[in-house]
Structure 1
Amino acid sequence: MAVAHPQCLALLGGGFSTDDDGLLDDWVLSRARAPRPAVCFVPTASGDAPAYVDRFRAAFAARPCEPSVLQLFRRELDDDALRSFLLAQDVVYVGGGNTANLLAVWRAHGVDRLLREACDRGTLLCGISAGANCWAEGSHTDSFGPLTHLSDGLGLLPGSVCPHWDSEPGRRPSYRAAVATGKLPAGWAVEDGAGALFTDGAPTEAVTRVRGAGVYRVAPDGAGGASEDALPCRFLGDDAPALPR
């Protein structure tokens, strides 16, 4: 009989893509199922940008993990090898970029199905920006230029996701409006510097490397607008920077 594992997902508002302190990346590794986890970076949303891949390799080379990269724009694995590779990962870490393009490429290669299977087997799925959007039913995105709603995603996390809640102009009012009008289901807004872990669809931990940054539940308020409720966040370190206000 197959062993049932909880589905674990992490939404990141930072990490090696944007930060030098490594606090969010260390937190992700600490939540993996293995003490020295196999960590696969998936840079599809950036078109497998070489500089992004190099930054990942530099950031994780000295960490207690076994890092690797899956590049689909120059795919080298056949279907069986790709499945074996992804199911062997303890963490799949998805980079930022274009959410719509990411989902289209994954579906063309069957990666969407393999990630569902990996998640069911206990792999921690995580990512920043597009790499956070992709796990939900829908997301707030600039994949098509202007900020808009994307009613598409893998649906492993119920509801919707909005990254860069505090750092990109227009994010907050646009996402609130999409949730208030039902264009997106209620969901989670992640500020830069914060992260949240979800287990079987429910938030089980929220952290921040930046004092004042957080993760918010955004839902219709019953009066034509949207409400925001902050998750309690644990501060990751005394050396973390303060959030400019």
Structure 2
Amino acid sequence: MPILALSGHPDEAMLDYLLGLASGRRVLYVPTAGMEEPGSTLSWYERLRGRAELTHLHFFPYPPADLRDLTLSHDVVLVAGGNTANALAIWRTHGYDAVLREAWESGVLLAGWSAGAICWFEAAVTDSFGPQLVGMRDGLGFLAGSACPHYDGEAFRRPRYAELVRNGFPAGIAIDDDVGVRFEGTELAEVVTSRARATAYRVSSDGEEPLEARLLS
């Protein structure tokens, strides 16, 4: 039941790490949050050529009839960044939230960056509703607590997350860009980074606590 939450588009070191976690090379790319932009989908076919067997899942104009079987036949579900709230709404409309949970419980690696990292948590800090960051409490809930990506990439993230948590928002994990947080089941297993001094943090009403991160080579 692995989940890999990434802050920022994965570079080559992080992509190698991601593929190394999977039980096979069948990757399902889900760009719902990014409006299923064709160029993004094509870029992933090019990037993974010769390294993985890629299939993409689009919900427009409508999802495939074999949505469940398609998902469960893959080793990795890779969720793109974008608008978290919109992606969650679309998935729930088509019952894909339940499919993702079944895939996770079956051992499929769930991975993604930005929106594709925070969607797995109960709550998240998001700009889905406009430039002002808000605390969203209706994530998929596979992982307890909250998450905030781009912690060192956008200056307003750190103070806003701290403010939200002080005011009763669930405590959780903040993730610097170029960092991956791996969970096995619901337990944090490892923090990895492809950039020196970047890491993840436990954030609570008492403040933040940096987590030890392994630097990928």
Q: When the two structures are superposed, what TM-score results if normalisation uses the length of structure 1?
A: 0.85
Partner residue, 2:48: 60
Percent of pairs with identical residues: 44
Partner residue, 2:18: 28
Once residues 77 and 127 of structure 1 are traced to their aligned partners in structure 2, the CA distance between those partners, rounded to angstroms, is 21
Over the aligned positions, Cα root-mean-square deviation in angstroms equals 1.1
Q: Any idea what SS the aligned residue of 2:144 has?
A: strand
Once residues 185 and 124 of structure 2 are traced to their aligned partners in structure 1, the CA distance between those partners, rounded to angstroms, is 19
Q: Any idea what SS the aligned residue of 1:41 has?
A: strand
- 2:153 aligns with one of 167, 170, 182: 167
1:187-216 Cα offsets, whole Å, 9 max, x none, are: 111100110101121110111000011111
Q: Any idea what SS the aligned residue of 1:118 has?
A: helix
Give how far 1:15 is off: 3.6
- The AA in structure 2 aligned to 1:236 is L
Partner residue, 1:228: 208
Once residues 109 and 88 of structure 1 are traced to their aligned partners in structure 2, the CA distance between those partners, rounded to angstroms, is 18
1:98-139 Cα offsets, whole Å, 9 max, x none, are: 011010000111111100000000011111111111100010
Q: When the two structures are superposed, what TM-score results if normalisation uses the length of structure 2?
A: 0.96
Asked whether the 8 Å contact 1:164–1:192 carries over to 2, the reply is yes
1:1-32 Cα offsets, whole Å, 9 max, x none, are: xxxxxx2111112344xx4xx11111011111
User: What are the ranges of 5 or more consecutive residues in structure 2 without an aligned counterpart?
Assistant: none
Q: Is 1:206 equivalent to 2:191 in the alignment? A: yes
**Moved >6 Å (runs of 4+):** none
Q: Any idea what SS the aligned residue of 2:139 has?
A: coil
Give how far 1:62 is off: 2.7
Give how far 1:75 is off: 3.2
Larger RCO (CA under 8 A, 6+ residues apart): 2
Once residues 133 and 145 of structure 2 are traced to their aligned partners in structure 1, the CA distance between those partners, rounded to angstroms, is 18
- The AA in structure 2 aligned to 1:189 is A
Q: Figure out how many residues of one structure are paired with residues of the other and give that number.
A: 216
User: What are the ranges of 5 or more consecutive residues in structure 1 without an aligned counterpart?
Assistant: 1-6, 222-226, 238-245
Asked whether the 8 Å contact 2:8–2:150 carries over to 1, the reply is no
Asked whether the 8 Å contact 1:15–1:24 carries over to 2, the reply is no
